Amino acid sequence: MKPDIILTDKINPDQSVVCILGSNEIPEHLVLSKTEKEYAVKRLEAGDESVVINSYYKNTYLIRQKDYSEIYRSREEVRKSAFNIRKTVKSNNHEELVITSYKSYKGAVEDFTEGFILSIYSFDRYKTVEEEDGKKSYPVRLLLHGEVNKEGLDWLKATMTAVYFARDLINEPPNHLNASALAGEIKKISEKSGFSVEVMNKGKIQSLKMGGLLAVNRGSVDPPVFCVLEWNPPDHVNSKPLVLIGKGIIYDTGGINIKTGEHMDNMKTDMAGAAAVAGVIYTAAMLKMPVHVVGLIPATDNRPGGNAYVQGDIITMHNGMTVEVGNTDAEGRLILADALSYASRYEPELVITIATLTGSAAMTFGNKAIAVMGNAGDKYFDLLGECGNETYERIAKLPFWDEYGELIKSDIADIKNVGGREAGAITAGKFLERFSEYPMIHLDIAGTGSLKKDDFYRLKNGPASGLRLLSCFLKKYSENYLKNN
**Choice among 157, 259, 397, 476 that is catalytic:** 259
3-state SS, residue 356: coil
111: nearest Cα among 140, 162, 68, 147: 147
Taking the C-alpha atoms of residue 1 and residue 85, their distance in angstroms, rounded to an integer, is 18
DSSP string, 23-72: SSPPPGGG---HHHHHHHHHHHHTT-SEEEEE-SS-EEEEEE----SSHH
Burial environment of residue 180 by CB neighbours within 10 A (0 to 12, 13 to 18, 19 or more): middle
- CA separation (Å) from 399 to 139, 341, 353, 429? 46, 23, 17, 10
Taking the C-alpha atoms of residue 162 and residue 299, their distance in angstroms, rounded to an integer, is 19
Please, which contacts does 32-41 make with residues 24 or more away whose CB atoms are closer than 8 Å?
A: 32/60, 36/60
For CA atoms 342, 175, 279, 285, the dihedral sign is: positive
Helix or strand holding residue 81 (H, E): helix 71-91
Taking the C-alpha atoms of residue 206 and residue 204, their distance in angstroms, rounded to an integer, is 5
3-state SS, residue 236: coil
Q: Is 209 a catalytic residue?
A: no
Give percent helix, percent strand, percent coil of the chain, each to the nearest 5: 40, 20, 40
Q: Is 333 a catalytic residue?
A: yes
92: nearest Cα among 135, 123, 129, 132: 135
3-state SS, residue 395: strand
Taking the C-alpha atoms of residue 382 and residue 480, their distance in angstroms, rounded to an integer, is 13
- What are phi and psi for residue 19, nearest 5 degrees? -125, 120
Supply the DSSP symbol for 398.
P
Report the amino acid identity of residue 119: S
Largest CA distance in the chain: 81
Taking the C-alpha atoms of residue 293 and residue 70, their distance in angstroms, rounded to an integer, is 31
83 CB-near residues (< 8 Å, 6+ apart)? 115, 116, 118, 119, 454, 456, 457
**Choice among 58, 268, 333, 475 that is catalytic:** 333
Q: Output the CA angle 50-53-57, nearest 5 degrees.
A: 145
Active site residues: 259, 333
